[in-house]
C-alpha cells in the first residue's frame, strides 16, 4: 500500500507554492491541510511546532517522514515519487541546479512581501498581523513551558522581521539582493534555456514562484522589466505555461473578491482539509 502524503500549507505562501508545484509536476495526489499563518496563526500552535519547530509552512508528511523547509521538500518529492525526474543526471548540472535552488532560498521574500504589499492587504499584514503574532507567541510560551526555547526563537525571529520591514536601509538591501540575483539569472539565460542546463529542473521550479511573487506584488517592472531582463520575461512565460502552474495554484496576482472571501472564511472558521488529485 502506498504511504499517504499530507502537505501543511497556506495558499498564498511562496514556500508552499514551491512544494505544490513540485507535487503537481510529479503528479502526486495528496491531502492539503490549511495552516493559517496570518490571522489565527495556526503555525504557532504546539502541535504544529512539534512537526515544524521553526513554526513555518510548508511541512510535508509522507508515511513516517516529516520533511520541513521547501528547498528540502522539493528535493524529497523529486526523489521519493515516480514521474518525470526534475533533477539532471549529469553531476555538473546537478551541482548547478543545487546552487540556483540555494540562491533562491536565500532571497528574503517574506521581507519583500511584507515591505512591498500595497493597499488594505499591506496594511493588514504590517499593522494587524504583526502585533497579533507577538501576543500569541507570548501567550503560548507561558502556556507551554516545554516549548519555551522554540517560542523564544520565534519571538526573536519576529523581532528581526519587524525591524527589517520598518528600516528603509534594510529594505533597500533586500531589494538589492533580489536585483543582483535576477541579474545572475538573466546572464545565465543567455547561456542556457534553463538554469541547470538544457532541461527544466527543480531550480526553474523554485524560481517560478519568485517571479510569480514579483508579479503579485506589482514590482515586476522595477525588478525585471523588459529593458533590464528581456530573457527573464520570455523564460517566465515558458515556466508559467506549464500545466503544473495552474494545477498548483501559483498566485501571480491577488485573487478576485470571491476567492478572497472564501479564503478569509477558511481562515476564520475552517480546519480546511482538501484532497488534491494526481
Ligand X SMILES: N[C@@H](CCC(=O)N[C@@H](CS)C(=O)NCC(=O)O)C(=O)O
Point out which residues bind ligand X (CB under 6 A): 13-15, 37, 43, 55-58, 69-71, 110
Judged by CB, which is closer to ligand X: 69, or 78? 69
Find residue 34's DSSP bridge partners: 9
Judged by CB, which is closer to ligand X: 15, or 232? 15
Judged by CB, which is closer to ligand X: 199, or 205? 205
Which stretch of DSSP H or E encloses residue 276?
strand 273-276
Contact criterion met (CB below 8 Å) for 70 and 58:
yes
Burial of residue 261, with CB atoms counted within 10 A of its CB: 0-12 exposed, 13-18 middle, 19 or more buried: exposed
Q: Which three cell numbers stand for residue 18?
A: 514551491
Residue 253 CB coordination number (10 Å): 10
DSSP state of 245: H
Contact criterion met (CB below 8 Å) for 229 and 207:
no
Judged by CB, which is closer to ligand X: 15, or 112? 15
Judged by CB, which is closer to ligand X: 43, or 87? 43
Alpha carbon 167 to its chain centroid, in Å, reads 23
Residue 117 CB coordination number (10 Å): 19
Find residue 276's DSSP bridge partners: 30
Residue 234 Cβ, how far from ligand X at the closest point, in Å?
27
Residue 58 Cβ, how far from ligand X at the closest point, in Å?
6
Residue 232 Cβ, how far from ligand X at the closest point, in Å?
22
Residue 189 Cβ, how far from ligand X at the closest point, in Å?
24
Residue 226 Cβ, how far from ligand X at the closest point, in Å?
28
Residue 113 Cβ, how far from ligand X at the closest point, in Å?
8
Judged by CB, which is closer to ligand X: 114, or 236? 114
How far lies 64's CA from each of 34, 121, 127, 136, in Å?
A: 20, 38, 39, 30
Amino acid at each position: 500500500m502506498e504511504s499517504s502524503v499530507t502537505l501543511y500549507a497556506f495558499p498564498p505562501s511562496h514556500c508552499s507554492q514551491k512544494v505544490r508545484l513540485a507535487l503537481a509536476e510529479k503528479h502526486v495526489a495528496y491531502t492539503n491541510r490549511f495552516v493559517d499563518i496570518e490571522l489565527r496563526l495556526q503555525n504557532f500552535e504546539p502541535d504544529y511546532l512539534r512537526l515544524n519547530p521553526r513554526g513555518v509552512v510548508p511541512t510535508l508528511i509522507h508515511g513516517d517522514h516529516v520533511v520541513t523547509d521547501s528547498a528540502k521538500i522539493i528535493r524529497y518529492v523529486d526523489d521519493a515519487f515516480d514521474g518525470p525526474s526534475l533533477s539532471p543526471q549529469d553531476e555538473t548540472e546537478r551541482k548547478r541546479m543545487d546552487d540556483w535552488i540555494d540562491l533562491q532560498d536565500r532571497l528574503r521574500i517574506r521581507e519583500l512581501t511584507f515591505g512591498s504589499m500595497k493597499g488594505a492587504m499591506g496594511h493588514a499584514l504590517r499593522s494587524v498581523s504583526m502585533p497579533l503574532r507577538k501576543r500569541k507567541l507570548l501567550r503560548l510560551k507561558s502556556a507551554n513551558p516545554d516549548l519555551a526555547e522554540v517560542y523564544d526563537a520565534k519571538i526573536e525571529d519576529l523581532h528581526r522581521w519587524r525591524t527589517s520591514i520598518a528600516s528603509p536601509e534594510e529594505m533597500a538591501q533586500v531589494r538589492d539582493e533580489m536585483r543582483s540575483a535576477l541579474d545572475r539569472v538573466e546572464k545565465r539565460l543567455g547561456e542556457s534555456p534553463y538554469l541547470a542546463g538544457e532541461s527544466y529542473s527543480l531550480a526553474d521550479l523554485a524560481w517560478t514562484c519568485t517571479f510569480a511573487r514579483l508579479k503579485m506584488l506589482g514590482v515586476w517592472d522595477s525588478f525585471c522589466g523588459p529593458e533590464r531582463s528581456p530573457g527573464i520575461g520570455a523564460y517566465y512565460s515558458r515556466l508559467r505555461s506549464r500545466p503544473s502552474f495552474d494545477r498548483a495554484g501559483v498566485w501571480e496576482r491577488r485573487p478576485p473578491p470571491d476567492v478572497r472571501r472564501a479564503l478569509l472564511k477558511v481562515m476564520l472558521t475552517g480546519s480546511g482539509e482538501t484532497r488534491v488529485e494526481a
